[in-house]
Amino acid sequence: MFFILSLVPGASMGWLLILLTLFRVTSCAVNSISADQSIRDDETIVSANEMFELGFFSPRNSWDRFLGIWYKKIGSGTVVWVANRQAPIANSTGVLKLTTEGILILSNGTGPAVWSSSNSSGPPKSSPVAQLLDSGNLIVRDGSSDSPENILWQSFDHLSNTLLEGMKFGMNLQTGLNRYLSSWKSPDDPSPGTFTYKLDPSGFPQLILRNGSVVLYRSGPWNGLRFSGFPQLTPNPVYKFGFVFNQSEVYYYFELLNSSSPSRLVLNEKGIAERFAWTDQSRGWILYSSAQTDDCDTYALCGAFGTCNIANSPKCQCLKGFVPKSLNSWQVGDWSRGCFRSTELACPEGKDKFMKHSGIKLPDTRSSWFNRSISLAECKKICLKNCSCTGYATLDIRDGSGCLIWYGELIDIREFNANGQEIYVRMAASEVDDNLGNSGLRRRVEIIVGAAASILLLLGVTYVCIKRKRGENFCGYGRESPNEDLELPLFDFSTIASATNQFSIQNKLGEGGFGAVYKGILKNGQEIAVKRLSETSRQGLIEFTNEVTYIAKLQHRNLVKLLGCCIEVDEKMLVYEFLPNKSLDCFIFDQRQAVLLDWNKRFVIIHGIAIGLLYLHRDSRLRIIHRDLKAENILLDNELNPKISDFGLARTFGGNETEANTRRVMGTYGYMSPEYAIHGLYSVKSDIFSFGVLVLEIVHGRRNRGFSHPDNNLTLLGHAWTLFKKGRPIELIDESIKQTINFSEVLRSIHVALLCVQHNPRDRPDMSSVVMMLGGESSLPEPKPPGFFSDVISLEGNSSGSKHAEISANELTISFVEPR
């Protein structure tokens, strides 16, 4: 600049102003900066075709300064990305600099950094450059090429409230990077608001819009053409779109059909996802479409097994074969409690059928299973064999391929006039049978069938009584209903004895409160695990029947599978699928084995246990409280996926029950919640306490039971809470995994665990909230002190000692007994 002035003798102030102006324009034409170069508050860089500009801006009615990217050629001032959303600069002293390590650093003048493109630095790069591309993507590359292998960082991986052409709206399944939208706090405040719109990978992926942790809207699953809940997503003159789902990535994207007619998707400050299209300078941006179109897009408006149709009055109805859970609430317009079956299913007798529903938005897929390669007919067979399967549909409507299966309640269904889908809902056969010509014929058939059923039932009861009298095998005889046959395979004692090599010590896998567990191989080559009730076991026929009754009715990928059982004379045995990696405690509490479970595997295990508990508490038809959740009862399959086992102490809740009381408190020291151990009160919050303990053990690698620390007399729970309050939770992490951790996941897991072990059960989150918190990025509440904070556990008994602890020989199970 000064060199140019020296070539103009006698340059006037006017010429100086002109040259300054030219210099300013030249600086704006630059689209990149190199290492050790910077951009100050009054400087910008512009993409090559002048579509986008990067620099500092202030929102309306604010003096705060933000570094952002906005449209320049059209819609001037429309911001699409903001760097320092959580740390605005209070004046015009901001500087953006690129370091030799290839890191963008935003600072307040000479002060500390308020934002950077990376949390860690590496060795100097050969020639790092920060460049604003014509797509609106700010990249940091090493070298002259902007090919993917040279890109060190890019703004397209860190979305604000806007989705542009070329952005990936979804997850990198290899790294865990989740690209999602978060709203501005207000039209004049780019700070992160409470609304997020992100792809949820649970079950079959779908886009979910939340306010904090509360689900407001979901797109439904991708069906090959569009998202199931977004029928208006059709071929159009503005953009084309697609969905990528493979082993590495899952994301939605769109591409413009005309670069001169931009379009953008925005999550606004009110929590509405809207698409805008550019028209011309006179009309500017126009609203092109919206994800939420009417009340029926409100998540779960009509509750479980309810369906919403905006053209109906009332808009909510129960699916055919279902009736409202609360007729009074339904009549006053509160449909949130949903519907339940008017006729119970016949499962596991295999007599259920499926009712086809057309033109709908498919239910929430977070509790679903899918397979891309099987046909719809095979899908039906798989669903019919699984009592927990409530419905199925094709995965790709273009060719009818693939299988999508739902477990538990069907939630958030709505009807469409066009571009809806088909789903097959599991029903009692009587609800689906509409093939009879007239009611008279139907009635005659009902009489015949009823008479035949009565005769068969009489014969069946007689046969069972004779078998029981003879002491022969009988498996699945429920104490709650003497005629309830769970149809589990029956194993002869001789078959199991042969499979386990006569219960040899070489086949013994371990021993618990029920008895010994043996590995066996059946004649067909199938590997099994056999739990054999020991003569000295504190658990007896009640626990045995309990396990058979509950687990036989449960089918979930995170629950162990019961294959059959045997009662012959004095023998009581349960036969399970064999899981070669045994139980979780064999890994996390063994220094040699602990290294085999890096953080990624441990987080998968934590999430899998949470999903399994959510199924037990909310999605299974029995609503089960496990009551003995611990590391020994988490089995690991070939791929180290967790499966919850041992339902001997489980209990069910029905109707509106939320808690129950027992005089016989049984569980495991170190995992039991205070209200259960001391007062005998148990609920879903008891399991959640146990889950929190388990998560802290997985993170720390040591048991809560018998935990000691040289600096205090606290339990693992008290120690974890103390470190958390001091801002030192990292010290809790197992040394064997510190090199593999994802800091944000570990810290969130510790935080969630401390919320789960709070002393008061009312303060603990439910399991659905736990699952969302583990997978989310929203702020979490501060945890209160945990139960059993110190290593001295008071039973709060009276002076006469009305309660005392009785500990079993293996120190695993304790029973608090009320004296007579």
Alpha-carbon distance 416 to 362, whole Å?
11
The DSSP bridge pattern shows strands 214-221 and 206-211 to be antiparallel
Does residue 265 contact residue 259 with C-beta atoms inside 8 Å?
A: no
Tokens of 209: 């819009």
d(CA 358, CA 421): 6
CA gap 371, 395 in Å, rounded = 8
- Give yes or no for a contact between 303 and 339, defined as CB atoms under 8 angstroms apart: yes
The Cα 189–Cα 200 span in angstroms is 27
- Phi/psi zone of residue 355: left (φ > 0), alpha (ψ -120 to 50 degrees), beta? beta
Q: Are strands 306-308 and 413-415 parallel, antiparallel or unpaired?
A: parallel
355, 322 in Cβ contact below 8 A?
A: no
Q: Per the structure block, which two tokens stand in for 806?
A: 């009785």
Measured in degrees and rounded to the nearest 5, phi and psi for residue 101 equal -85, 0
For residue 578, what are its two tokens? 């064999």
Strand ordering across the sheet containing 515-521: 508-511, 515-521, 527-533, 571-577, 562-568
Residue 761: name the closest of 666, 671, 687 by CA: 687
Task: Label residues 65-90 b or e (16+ Cβ within 10 Å = b).
Answer: bbbbbbbbebbeebbbbbbbbeebbe
628 is catalytic: yes
Q: What's the order of all strands across the beta sheet hosting 814-817?
A: 664-667, 814-817, 804-807
Percent helix, strand and coil across the chain, each rounded to 5? 25, 30, 45
Torsion, CA 88, CA 92, CA 97, CA 103, rounded to 10:
0
Nearest by Cα to 529 from 643, 363, 695: 643
190 half-sphere exposure, CB direction, 13 A CA radius: 30
Cα separation, 386 vs 121, in Å, equals: 51
- The verdict on whether residue 531 carries a ligand-binding annotation is yes
Distance from C-alpha of 789 to C-alpha of 689, rounded to nearest angstrom: 13
- Give the C-alpha separation, 87 to 705, whole Å: 43
The Cα–Cα gap between 187 and 702 comes to 49
Residue 101: other Cβ atoms inside 10 A = 18
In three-state form (DSSP H/G/I as H, E/B as E, the rest C), the secondary structure along 3-66 is: HHHHCCCCCCHHHHHHHHHHHHHHHHHCCEEECCCEEECCCCEECCCCCEEEEEECCCCCCCEE
CA distance 76 to 201: 36
Helices (H), 237-385: 327-331, 376-385
Q: In whole angstroms, give the CA distance from residue 496 to residue 544.
A: 17
Find residue 130's DSSP bridge partners.
33, 140
| CA nearest to 539, candidates 666, 661, 672 | 666
Strands 32-34 and 45-46: unpaired
B/e letters for 618-652, b = 16+ CB within 10 Å, e = fewer, are: bbbbebbbbbbbbbbbbbbbeebbbbbbbbbbbbb
Of 41, 200, 628, 646, catalytic:
628
Q: Does residue 604 contact residue 698 with C-beta atoms inside 8 Å?
A: no
Q: Which residues are annotated as a binding site for ATP?
A: 531
Question: What are the catalytic residues?
Answer: 628
| Binding-site residues from annotation | 531
